[in-house]
Structure 1
Amino acid sequence: MIARRHATRLVLLWSAFLAVHALTAATGWIYPSQPMGDVVLVYEPWSTAALTGGPIVGITETWVYPQLALAPMLATKILSAPLVPVLGVAGAYLVAWAVLVTALDAVAFAFLLGRRPATGHRAAGWFWIAALLLLGPIAMYRIDAVTVPIAIVGGLWLLRRPAVAAALLTIGAWIKIWPGALLLAALVAARTRMRMLITAAAVTAGIVVVLFVLGADDEILGFLTEQTGRGLQIEAVAATPFLWLAVVGAARIEYSFDILTFQIAAPGADAVGAILTPLMVLVAVVLVAVGARKTMRGAAVARLFPPLAMSLVVTLIALNKVGSPQFQSWLIVPALLWIVMDRTRAAAPALLVLALCALTCLVYPLNYDALLRAEALPVVILSVRNALLVVLLAVGIRALARVPVSASNTNRE
């Protein structure tokens, strides 16, 4: 009877997981504002150029992403080849991308559930399904979608296989930087930090050596320098007051052809954008210092890691001059791991993440054209979304400050 109940729960979870992925993939073809645009208009040309003797982003020319981001793009191009005669180049690439993301998510989902998932793992599974459904196609049709399952498996292995966890999080950071925040939280919270640090350094060294062999030189850290030219993007938290100025005609929304984003043009916008990165670094340093003090005083990893990871990831979003909607997918990982590690205290942050996913989808892609016209309704929705990001940061910091410390925990993992 018990075995049958476990089997039924697994069937329901997997059925919902696959159905939501299929629905989310399909909405990319239906929703306005072309939510699949980056995949077909940017990733496909990059991968085609790399495979046909053209420029290789991150190797022969500076790129906005870390170099390993090209790997899933190339894999998608190869997977799409048999579909081209039926769907055409663009359609084949989009379908192959959705299949690749679904397959990676399925691997992580299998790691999360196992054969007999505990209550916390089942709750985390349902949370992931709900978050994906609410966030919509932006959760699948961006390079960030590849890093989410990698980061989830890395987080799940943090206590049992810390070296593997460090390797996965490092690989994730070489695809899109944000998993580095989880690695940093793990290095602070775990007692196996030296093993993890050595592993992360070894993986990074291996990647750099391969890049040098392939011909990269100054381009290796180009993904850092390429960000310096960005202005204040309209969806960034700090852009919210300027958006309201745009509503009344006192600011403008302009498109940057260099960065391919919509940015704020208004007095003071550049100054605000300039202080955000130093402020982000400062807040991250303070959070790490608080976490390190908790660790030294004996805080348990399962209590310390989730709020520290969440706070660091939200800091990367809330204090960023870029406000891309896919950033919300990052929040799924620390929330999911919080449910797994410390379910009784994960409800508030998990609900906030679900609300953020829903509000983000309402802004992009559903009301994005109206936002670009600076209409009041999408600006209201975006303002609420950005306010909730600040609330989530406060919730994470509050939970971090309340992590108990005890000398009896000094040897616990």
Structure 2
Amino acid sequence: MRMVGALRTKWRDKVMAGWVLSRVLLVVILLVPVYLRLGILGDVKLYEEWSRILVTGHLPGDDPSWQYPPLSALVFVLPRIFGGGGVYGFMFMLGALTVDLLVLRMLMWKGRPRSGAWYWVAGIFLLGPIVYFRYDLFATAPVVLALLVISRRRIFGTLAAVGALLKVWPVLLLLAVPRSRAAVQTIAAFAVTAALVLAILAGTVDGAWGFLQQQEGRGLEVEALAATPFQVARSFGWQGVCRLRYGAWELVGPGIATAATASVVVNLVAFVLLAVAVWRHAPRRWTPAFGCDAVLAAVLVAVVTSRVLSPQYLIWLLGIGAVCAVDPRTRQRPVLVLLLVATALTQLEFPLLWSDVMAGKGVGTAVLVARNLILVAATVLAVARVWRGPAAEAAAAPEPVRDERVEGLALSGPGS
């Protein structure tokens, strides 16, 4: 037992050392003036403007860029409360760095297989410093914790609701629920948590549902998969331009509306196929690993069929992918490799080659096309593996019986 404990401590030390070294390098990159001029701080400046409105008890629902559920207000306000207006950006970065470390500790919790922790360390490093200047890391953290306790139905449902109230996409976690009586507990916990939080927010802030109107009016962002053919066509005379709308650079021109509609149709078809795949294997062959695999496939479908594919969306995939890597029964390991490649290409296209992407030419556009094709391949592979069901050895064994008292203690903090 002492030897096992020593080995656990050793790999934990290595992971922490890797995290510290990689994050120091990310901060060093930020000190390079040319990198800061590439636009990664633009969103934080917008968050700071919103925080001035939020502290008055109102949501910036009239701002076309505001597209976040009401609980997100807490994340945007805290840097102002703790640091004041003068150091808002620094406090936001510090908060994001803290959440990054918390996610790592979750993945290291109770001596879990180290592959998940290393995956998170590597993935965030490959995406670059933009991670600490975007909101999405805060929405990903409750998703990671929810998937790590996926067999505890009520806690899972509560965390899924918190994630969905921070940013809508975590509602896809409900796809991981097996078709059984346990699903009722999860959905009930989700509904009660969401209703309670929304009731509290309705009494304290105005304009809680303004973000839904802004979502309806969004166009096709230049990095989205559906925009990729038009990006290539720009080099061959396609008459289209980029315009800043709803907080993102969108393509405007012939065929864009049709492509946006087609992406919605593809989204619906892919989700139907995925839902059928999950239904086929639940509850008889359902396992926690299968649930996590299904969520990764669902979020990949959401990302590649979205009208917007911002670099920070990769944070969602990295978080879910890290949880999949924790469980040796996952079938998504080839998908996880593709995601790391796509993540590295994402940092190249934004911010390093962003001028090429905006112009629709050069190396930047080639990198964007390659990134999107890899994401398509990852999505098709992820859905196909969910369709095939859990791994054979996992399907043959029933889900392990869990000691609620032990897990309750485990939730109090990372194991040593």
Q: Fold match, TM over 0.5?
A: yes
Residue deviations 1:45-78, cap 9 Å, x none?
Answer: 1112222x38433599994111111111111112
Q: How does 1:130-141 map to 2 (within 5 A)?
A: 130-141=122-133
Q: Normalization by structure 2: what TM-score?
A: 0.87
Shift of 1:330: 1.0
Q: Contact conserved, 2:311 with 2:346, CA < 8 A, in 1? A: yes
Work out whether residues 188 and 288 of structure 1, in 8 Å CA contact, stay in contact via their aligned partners in 2: no
Look up the match of 1:184.
174
Counterpart check, 1:273 vs 2:263? no
> For residues 184 and 130 of structure 1, what CA distance do their matches in structure 2 show?
28
Q: Secondary structure of 2:242's partner?
A: strand
1:11-410 counterparts in 2 under 5 A?
11-28=13-30, 30=32, 31=35, 32-39=37-44, 41-51=45-55, 53=56, 55-57=58-60, 63-81=66-84, 89=86, 92-114=87-109, 117-118=111-112, 120=113, 122-159=114-151, 161-181=152-172, 183-188=173-178, 192-216=182-206, 219-256=207-244, 258-296=245-283, 298-342=284-328, 345-404=331-390
Segment drifting more, 276-285 vs 222-231 = 276-285
C-alpha contact (below 8 Å) 2:222/2:251 kept by paired residues: yes
Change (3 A) 1:59 1:22: farther
> Structure 1 residues 6, 54: CA separation in 2 closer, same or farther (over 3 Å shift)?
closer
CA gap 1:105/1:246 in 2 versus in 1, 3 angstroms: same
- The SS at the match of 2:220 is coil
Letter in 2 for 1:35: I
**Inter-partner Cα distance in structure 1 for 2:197 and 2:64:** 17
Residues 64 and 214, structure 2, Cα contact 8 Å, conserved in 1: no
Gaps of at least 5 residues in structure 1 are: none
Q: Is the 8 A contact 1:243 1:251 kept in 2?
A: no
Gaps of 5+ in 2: 402-416
Amino acid paired to 1:194: V
Aligned residues: 394
What are the superposed Cα offsets for residues 339-360 of structure 1, whole Å, 9 maximum, x if unpaired? 1223563421111110111010
For the residues of structure 2 that align with 1:132 and 1:344, how far apart are their CA atoms? 21
- Identical positions, percent: 24
Q: CA RMSD in A?
A: 2.5
- The offset of 1:280, in angstroms, is 1.5
TM-score relative to the length of structure 1: 0.88
Instruction: Give CA-to-partner distance per residue, 1:29-49, whole Å, 9 cap, x none.
Output: 53242212101x210111122
